[in-house]
Structure 1
């Protein structure tokens, strides 16, 4: 998870300075290995779809990689929803979901051995990958949005199981998915009551990332697990 949260921290800091990535995806999360110090650092790659403060377009063009895109962006085929920080943060949560449910973990010793030989270790895909995720990869935008919405609703009753060696991180990921659903329900209710539309929604990176870190810190306090994540919390939250 170090690679993930370091990349997320990089993404947040860039957004604060009006550099918006707009396409967080699993292939765009990379890592750099310092063999001398036995240290791995997360790297957020591929800023080709990113926009800056001086961008020529208003951020209404729908961008992203389908399996990891936010439900809002998937569900608006005309791209008429402003691309907000929370959309990229949601994509990050889908990345964790995909990683924990689709792949099996490579033992650290084996990974370091491969790196020492100049070979990039590749995670193995599970033979029993949950079928619900397959439509995220092959479906069109709207269908993928429906599949993800159903996935969030079904978490309470029938959450899918990760590979045995990934259960350590799946518990926290489920809590982040519950947060995602709660925030989505709140926005839906506001829109239904005509108290806020997508066009009126302010971009508030600190609000959404702070909520996520409250979940993380509570999880660490309650379980005693993943304490190393606390050092990766962005400044100012």
Structure 2
């Protein structure tokens, strides 16, 4: 099935258009450390259409420090500390192809509800994307053609099954993950500790799901993949606490 058939958005991989004049593009934040602050700020919302284009930043009045903001709120819901959220009432897939969770890309006449763990998966893909394509010190999105990194090119394929398979292999096969991460350019390598730590969450979640499929447990939590994919666990993987 193609993106046109299900009315999903593909993107120009490296020429993401600006949304507002009041906020900066993610790669313009100025440093890896500032990017990490912005990334953490954006985590606690079930957005349902995350992409590298709607994670933005603005400079606060408090010393001009970068603060993360999200744009395009049409499908958003706030996430409580308990990870409880309002489910989407949409009967169609929501998201932007390169950053959508695997579950949401699987061809199904009735798409599954968009859960917070799906957004956490999108954040992981945005993190990987940033490591490959953003030079924060130079405040630029590198012009390298996506075809030089075939796994990321497949994330934006018009065939949803191709996209889903490419992403699933990365989050479920250590060898594939290692091969991809070995290609991260020098400018993005400071993000590798975060990338590996977050990847382990998805590895554990997939293992938990497979074990539950073999030996179903009545109390296994579908919303959090057995308790592994929650806001709290994601923040622990990053080694950070939400900024007030």
1:126 maps to 2:148: no
Contact 2:91–2:110 under 8 Å retained in 1 = yes
1:44-83 matches, cutoff 5 A: 44-50=70-76, 58-83=89-114
Q: What is the CA distance between 1:96 and its match in structure 2?
A: 0.4
**Residue of structure 1 in register with 2:125 after alignment:** 94
Distance 2:235 2:126 in 1: 17
Distance 1:38 1:171 in 2: 27
Aligned with 1:25: secondary structure? coil
1:27 maps to 2:53: yes
**Which residue among 177, 200, 206 is the counterpart of 1:184?**
206
Aligned with 1:42: secondary structure? strand
Q: Sort the Cα spacing of 1:202 and 1:140 in 2 relative to 1 into closer, same or farther, 3 A.
A: same
Q: Sort the Cα spacing of 1:31 and 1:208 in 2 relative to 1 into closer, same or farther, 3 A.
A: same
Contact 1:23–1:63 under 8 Å retained in 2 = yes
Aligned with 1:125: secondary structure? coil
Q: Sort the Cα spacing of 1:150 and 1:54 in 2 relative to 1 into closer, same or farther, 3 A.
A: closer
Aligned with 2:50: secondary structure? coil
Q: What is the CA distance between 1:186 and its match in structure 2?
A: 1.1
**Residue of structure 2 in register with 1:147 after alignment:** 166
1:137 maps to 2:156: yes
Distance 1:106 1:207 in 2: 28
Contact 1:77–1:141 under 8 Å retained in 2 = no
Q: Sort the Cα spacing of 1:79 and 1:192 in 2 relative to 1 into closer, same or farther, 3 A.
A: farther
- 1:122-170 per-residue CA deviation (whole Å, 9 max, x = no partner) reads 4113357411110111232222111111223134652432111211112
Distance 1:206 1:184 in 2: 9
Contact 2:154–2:166 under 8 Å retained in 1 = yes
**Residue of structure 2 in register with 1:105 after alignment:** 135
Structure having the larger proportion of residues in helix: 1
Distance 1:209 1:173 in 2: 16
The alignment covers a number of residue pairs equal to 201
Distance 1:31 1:209 in 2: 21
Distance 1:166 1:149 in 2: 22
TM value normalised by structure 2: 0.68
Structure with max Cα Rg: 1
